[in-house]
Amino acid sequence: MRVIIAGGTGLIGRALARSLVADGHQVTVLTRRPEPRPGGLPGEVALVAWDGRTIQEWAQQLEGADGVVNLAGAGLADQRWTPERKRIIRESRIQPGKVLAQAVEQASQRPKVFVQASAVGYYGPCGDEVVTEEHPPGDDFLARLCVEWEASSASVEALGVRRAIIRTGVVLSREGGALPRMVLPVRLFVGGPLGSGRQYLPWIHIADHVRAVRFLLEQEGASGPYNLTAPNPVTNREFMRLLGRVLGRPAFLPVPALALRILFGEMATVLLDGQRAVPQRLLEAGFAFRFPQAAEALQDLLERPDREPRSPSSAREGA
């Protein structure tokens, strides 16, 4: 396959590119900063500059491509959500989706499949309710953002391009994201549940996330939204307990919700509210998770520091 990844220098994009290249596929990453070469990307990956806003020479890369994966977007939990930061978060998602859809429309030989990133924040806070892809969207900032994010590339469907939407949960990886931030306080004996700890954490191992994206790229009938979360979400309290057990540390010191709201403002919802999201459509399509349980995922990522996590390689393996 020849796959174009927009936003491919982030945590998920790097892992996806490595997996595809390892299996002999051709990968091009669209990035705002092609130089210096981002770490974690194999030398075989071609880097092409784009601004994520306007049609330029990069659009030629879509000609005859097998698939496009749109992962572009500024980090949600990197900074406090000021009005300016909210604008950046929104525009960094909506504009790339629209311009990629325009490039697909202009291509004489259009890609076969378009994978559009989104997040389980689409559903808003849901308490203990089990959330499948049929659940309606919420009405907070993240939910409204995800609705727009998903809609940004919807026009490719009218062009005959198959489109799959990946509503991603909390991706667990040693290389970045949420896990290292959770590990540090536990190692220092000051870790514990956030707020009440009763909120659900819709997690997924990075290897399973990559395999799921590849599965959706390759499955000709796969279209519409898919929750990219492990089939067994756990509460924040249970996750921290498992994390402490794997690290051989106690993890019982709670962080008060009020303190988090004072420190992070509205962004605290990322930490204090969750979704009991399950990957119903992925499972129905025949996808098999390597890491369905949080304990084994954490063991794979944290008990083997001397090696890389198990390779995500083939999307069809075990599926």
Closest CA relative to residue 235, chosen from 262, 195, 264 = 195
95-118 pLDDT per residue, tens? 999 999 999 999 999 999 999 999
Q: How far is CA 61 from the centre of its chain?
A: 23
Closest CA relative to residue 269, chosen from 134, 86, 108, 110 = 86
With 0-12 CB in 10 A as exposed, 13-18 as middle and 19+ as buried, what is 241?
buried
- At residue 265, the pLDDT reads 85
252-283 pLDDT per residue, tens? 888 888 888 877 788 788 788 889 999 999 99
The CA distance from 186 to 188, in Å, is: 5
> 319 pLDDT exceeds 60?
no
Confidence of residue 305 (pLDDT cuts 50, 70, 90): low
Residues above pLDDT 70, as percent of the chain: 95
- At residue 316, the pLDDT reads 41
Q: Residue 25: CB partners within 8 Å, gap ≥ 6?
A: 1, 2, 3
- At residue 304, the pLDDT reads 67
Confidence of residue 311 (pLDDT cuts 50, 70, 90): very low
- What pTM was computed for the model? 0.93
The CA distance from 124 to 152, in Å, is: 19
Average pLDDT, the chain: 92
* 49 DSSP β-pair partners: 31
Q: Show the domains of the chain with their CATH numbers.
A: 2-302 (3.40.50.720)
